[in-house]
Amino acid sequence: MLPVCSATGEATPFLTALFTATTSVCVTGLVVVDTYMHWSFVGQLIILILVQIGGLGMIAVASMLMMLTGRKFSLTDRMLLRDAFNLNSESRLLSFLAAVLKGTFLVEGIGALLYSIAFIPEFGVKKGLWSAIFNAVSAFCNAGMDVIGPNSMANYRNNPLVMAVTMLLIVMGGIGFVVWFDVIDKSREGVKKGFSPLKVIGRLSEHAKLVLSFSLALILGGMVLFMITEYNNPGTIGEMSIGGKLTNSLFQSITLRTAGFTTFPQENLTVASCLVSYILMFIGGSPIGTAGGVKTVTMFLLIMNLRTYVSHQDEKVIFKRRVSEESMRKASAVVFVGVVAVFILTIILSIVNPVPMEDALFEIVSACGTVGLSRGLTSSLGTAGQIVVIISMYLGRIGPISLVALFSRSKEHNNLINYSEGIFYVG
């Protein structure tokens, strides 16, 4: 809110500052004022710091500060860090954290250098370098905020360097740190032992295989669907060349995985494309990464549960590994609570800020999935509408299921009682 943070030198209203702080630390990207125009360098720097904190996670950043100051980690600290990364054990936890931090800053640094090749000639050294750093951190953390202009990436939709760097950073941040390290370790092992690429892929963990294969299927599937539904739409890709249509359809499919950058106005999408967008935004990225959404693994387990029921299989097996019943129950709970949250928040937004249903649903799914795309609605929201979106972004980042678990009372004693089985007719 401080005057030094705005470009005009005037204090920013409380709700605008709160909305911006929330969208930054929740790495969403929805904004009520233009990031490049409203905020001064100090304001943009604060936004960038919040984006970095939100991308890595509060516990990870706090642990990093503990490591830098030489403070010893207690058992409670280690358990918090383990839960923050959703890991199954505490072995080599601090080395995993150090690797995450090094990998994050290395990838962001390389991204900034590549961006600077395009931005410095256009904006000059000072602004070009700052824009490159800001974009690299924002893209990797899947925040979708930028300081290069009012049209997001629209001015660069024909620039192969900027488009490629942005897509790679989004994917790198979205696939998850565990997948990173598994791919790196298996690749090193493959080089030392002379394994073929196929054998290296075969030696990846079942989690890495699932994330990579399902993510690739969603990206390519989304690209094909956008090509079909938007091919002749002059408001999106209709007037582009074939290469431009393919590139921008691919970019749209990737950015919907919680990134929030765009190369054309989302309000110009066809109804069919909106439906595809809802699905991709709701699924989001992969676990233990910077992306939001219910996550790829969660959705795949839900699909697997349906397939095994239809085929009368007792066990859920993926890549010759059995999925635990606890994982299946958690996946079902996460998706169910996510759908309920989106449904309720969309109704509330439609009541307090009457807009077309497809726009309200797009806004809420984008906020809950920490995507940051909007059909031109965010900046026109009233006070109540902004509060609803703030709550949606917050819930999307911590996860509705986490909030439910936090406020629910322990019922462990109920597990000591076994009741006789009842007869219920389902379906």
pLDDT tens digit sequence for 137-171: 999 998 989 999 888 899 999 999 999 999 999 99
The DSSP 8-state label assigned to residue 88 in this structure reads S
Q: How far apart are CA 10 and CA 288, in angstroms?
A: 39
Neighbouring-strand partners of residue 39:
6
Q: How far apart are CA 232 and CA 252, in angstroms?
A: 16
The DSSP 8-state label assigned to residue 65 in this structure reads H
Q: For the whole prediction, is pTM greater than 0.85?
A: yes
**pLDDT of amino acid 116:** 96
Confidence of residue 410 (pLDDT cuts 50, 70, 90): low
Whether 1 has a pLDDT exceeding 70, the answer reads yes
Whether 395 has a pLDDT exceeding 60, the answer reads yes
- Map out the domains of the chain as residue ranges: 3-407
The residues, ordered by sequence, that sit 6+ positions from 243 with a Cβ below 8 Å of its Cβ are: none
Amino acid at 290: T
Segment 74-79 shows an average pLDDT of: 72
- Average pLDDT of every residue of the chain: 87
Segment 73-86 shows an average pLDDT of: 68
